[in-house]
Structure 1
């Protein structure tokens, strides 16, 4: 059987599982491995790009509810604060709503409101949303989510970026948007071989943009999206005009003496100003008290993955903990995002069984940090006050030789597009304004 015949057979199998009677009769054990979307060949798009629609079998939702009801809860904390992790009363309230009132079909409809596609790059299916602005002179932009997020965290900026006039902006600030799911996340394929680090993903993103006909474009990201955008900037493929990030990597932007002190556990160097020492101490506190999740996934993603694949509450707690840590309203993601938005993201991880696979990017990245080279394209940075690391402009100017935009805003956290979509969109427009032809 040829590769093309094998792919067609797999697609036929997926469609029969979703739409035939066999799909209803799937066992609970098999549900996590089921493809959760319909693929329809459209000759107008060519064989390389296939339309995609999210359609989760009801059996998968029924299985989720059964597992939520059967949760075995731990005894609880011995402290009154968040120092031991997610507080039981917070998680129990969220899970009760998840089990009794949350509606995935609403989330599914929100996702399906935008054109979705699959395309194979470097042997792996990449899922992406593609929205063209009605302004034909719009600037193509590939925008990447992070962990513990997904494409859901970027949906609310689609309108402001593709149709800025309707959101208080100017027509000349419009973008054509491409929003991919990182390999191992969402509906993108799960790597079956090692090597899918940010550098390889960045190269795949360039292939994706060129495949869609965008010969010049810009890239944006926060969290892993920022690291992938940085990797694109280091590769500087033909046509990449610049990048904008709302999170920067400490290892490449700290002054050398501060970076050395941070990694050795020493106090802030006296060469730093009072304000710079505050930034240093916040970064050190994060490494000492908030970095355990990354240490686990950088070294043992498979081990923690068994629990994430088997227990929706275990998965929910794992994701909720870091969302709570990083939103502007520290410890209170419900007020920053709302229960439904939190559960859209958590349920997306559960239904695609990507709790385990999404963690492997940490393992992949750990080996590549020593290979970093300078970013070779224009760079724009927005610092949100709730971000874990908030470097001053002079640090970034040394790390990024062509820093064309820097701004500190007054609200928003690590999940800037999710928490403050209008403000985030204004920053993206301003960041790339000088790079338009």
Structure 2
């Protein structure tokens, strides 16, 4: 059960190779006056890439990221990288936060201090958490699965081992969005005895509503969801179809070209965040590039895309979740779930719509999310979890 300290250090060769590639880009053209209608806009991507080449400093970012306490341990054949920051209060509640695609463990970079040390941000020290943020298998600094089958369910089983066997927590909290929401729900469904409650910022894409044939059984809100979700998938779901069916074909371009990777990922940050079409209203160029760097320096574009394939080919069905569930929805997120469906399938004890924010909640609105997480877990405090 050895846990080792982990320190990010990317080899100079990798950075030199990246510089070479950014110096030798072959750009496609774009139709006149096309904007973002057909995907990532050329002029925006050129400006981001020139910033990447001339101003972005990975070494500075690397030492900043190394200020987090990071570790690595071996679970089910995979080296799992995780941040483990201890809370400052008298009895911190342990919480595991799970990210999604196309982000990384850095989805939670800004929220970690707000949860570990609420007192420094005008909060109550009694509301502090021990925060654990792992990188999903095949993402960032966790190792890549060598075999198929590593889906949300399998990851949730790994997280249960990480928290109990490796870190020694008897009971803990769990939260997540995107893939992280799926992993957290499997954890709750299969290990309710380990969890105080779960906190979600979305419920993924609700397939059983989209494929429902008996429309008479659906409420007005559920019918609206079915219609909107089908339209969204037709218009915006290309990435999902590709990653769920042919991730290997896609991976050659994303692994070989930093600009290809940027084009694939940046479009999602724009489409899914509360930025009104202007990325830099929500994210600095440095933030966006650091997300790209996590994929680039680890060469994980393929293994990250692959979890879509696993989830669409090998995921067991999910039953009713009886663990108390807090749901915080973001007005600009994609496909907000119908409340009746959520209440039928999860034990929803808190339902909030935050005043602003999109899919990358913890990056976009860390304070709002931290407040909601603190409020949801308040009733579960005072019980021992070590």
Fold agreement, TM-score > 0.5: yes
Supply the distance in 2 between the matched residues of 1:407 and 1:68 (Cα, whole angstroms).
43
Indicate the residue corresponding to 2:246 in structure 1: 300
Indicate the residue corresponding to 2:297 in structure 1: 351
Indicate the residue corresponding to 2:372 in structure 1: 427
Q: RCO greater where, 1 or 2, for CA within 8 Å and sep 6 or more?
A: 2
Indicate the residue corresponding to 1:313 in structure 2: 259
TM-score normalised by the chain length of structure 2: 0.94
Q: Deviation digits for residues 152-208 of structure 1, max 9, x if unmatched? A: 121100111001111122122111000000000001010001111111100100100
Select the residue among 327, 348, 353 that pairs with 1:403. 348
Structure 2: stretches of 5+ with no match in the other structure: none
Indicate the residue corresponding to 2:235 in structure 1: 289
Supply the distance in 2 between the matched residues of 1:191 and 1:270 (Cα, whole angstroms).
41
Q: Deviation digits for residues 200-237 of structure 1, max 9, x if unmatched? A: 10010010001111111011001111010011011125
Supply the distance in 2 between the matched residues of 1:411 and 1:253 (Cα, whole angstroms).
28
Select the residue among 277, 281, 299 that pairs with 1:335. 281
The higher radius of gyration belongs to 1
Select the residue among 213, 220, 233 that pairs with 2:168. 213
Measured on the aligned residues, the alpha-carbon RMSD in Å equals 1.9
Q: CA deviation at 1:415?
A: 0.1
The number of aligned residues is: 381
Q: CA deviation at 1:259?
A: 4.7
Supply the distance in 1 between the matched residues of 2:163 and 2:247 (Cα, whole angstroms).
30
CA contact (8 A) 1:221 1:245 kept: yes
Select the residue among 293, 313, 336 that pairs with 1:367. 313
The within-5 A match list for 1:177-256 is: 177-210=131-164, 211-251=166-206, 254=209
Select the residue among 84, 87, 90 that pairs with 1:130. 84
Does the alignment pair 1:168 with 2:109?
Answer: no
Does the alignment pair 1:67 with 2:21?
Answer: yes
CA contact (8 A) 1:206 1:237 kept: no
Q: CA deviation at 1:59?
A: 2.3
SS, match of residue 260 in structure 1: coil
Select the residue among 54, 67, 80 that pairs with 2:34. 80
Q: Deviation digits for residues 311-337 of structure 1, max 9, x if unmatched? A: 000011111111111011143222211
Q: CA deviation at 1:142?
A: 0.3
Structure-2 change in CA distance of 1:330 and 1:280 (3 Å): farther
SS, match of residue 7 in structure 2: strand
The within-5 A match list for 1:250-265 is: 250-251=205-206, 254=209, 259-260=211-212
Structure 1: stretches of 5+ with no match in the other structure: 1-46
